[in-house]
Amino acid sequence: MSEFVIVVDMGNTSTTVGLARAGRISGIRRLPTRTTCRTDVTAALTRLTRNRLIAGAMLCSVVPQCNHLWLRELQAFGGRPPRMLHHRMKLGLRIAYPNPASIGADRLANACGAAHRYGSPVIVADFGTALTFDVVANNAYMGGIIVPGLPLMTDYLAEKTALLPRLRLDRYHGIPRDLRTMPVIGKNTRQAMAIGARLGYLGMVREIFTRLQHTLKSRAVRLCATGSYAAWVLAECDLPVHLDPDLTLYGIARIYELNR
């Protein structure tokens, strides 16, 4: 039986953990980042690793204050010190960026995973707490664009207005998945907010992708999307996009293999 590697992507809102083996990701689980305690981590890793041979672990984090909890538990389950993903590791691509230490580890994982899966040039749109766009061209990480993510937008509307509700888009079913049948005019407040969020972010992705294509002087640049809200925004759209929900974990696993 070949060994598995535990891969962890710790974001500002949620932490995603899975098992990597031979280029495949399995057993994906999600926990809230800031309210997760040691018992939660232990339980998740116990369910994930049961009856499996674990070769090691890698943590990709943008929340430093939560690193110790995960590193301690990962060592217990992996049997050896876990690795922390950082810019000085072998990534399978160059970094053409003035201050590599300032690049989020998740963005490096996305760039590495996308370049390996789709080739270069490629643009990754990651729908997390922030919506980030990362560009790989000539097999180098070039930089990208950051805008507020969907949860920030809906939370801000609820906080800064007297009457607009707090809308959980990942639980809202008031508009159809198919854009062709989705109404454009909302018939209640929640529906109006959901339509605005979906069309607004789809338009944002389209405009940024078009501008980046023009900047890269290439119509052959690929676009892939990952993160919690990628499918919600982009499903059935007319953009040539690859929806890749496990891209970040795949990139973490790829970097682990490059640095074994």
Geometric angle at alpha carbon 68, from 19 and 72, rounded to 5°:
55
CA–CA distances in Å: residue 168 to residues 113, 191, 198, 237? 29, 12, 13, 22
Structure tokens belonging to residue 31? 């926990």
Asked if 170 is an active-site residue, the reply is: no
Rounded CA separation 131/60 (Å): 17
Collapsing DSSP to helix, strand or coil, 39 comes out as helix
Q: Which residue of the set 106, 126, 244, 246 is catalytic?
A: 106
Q: E strands within 118-159? A: 122-127, 130-137, 140-148
- Counting DSSP H helices and E strands in the chain, the numbers are 7, 11
Cβ-contact 234, 202 below 8 angstroms: yes
Report the alpha-carbon distance of residue 99 to residue 90 in Å, rounded.
Answer: 17
* Active centre residues (catalytic): 106
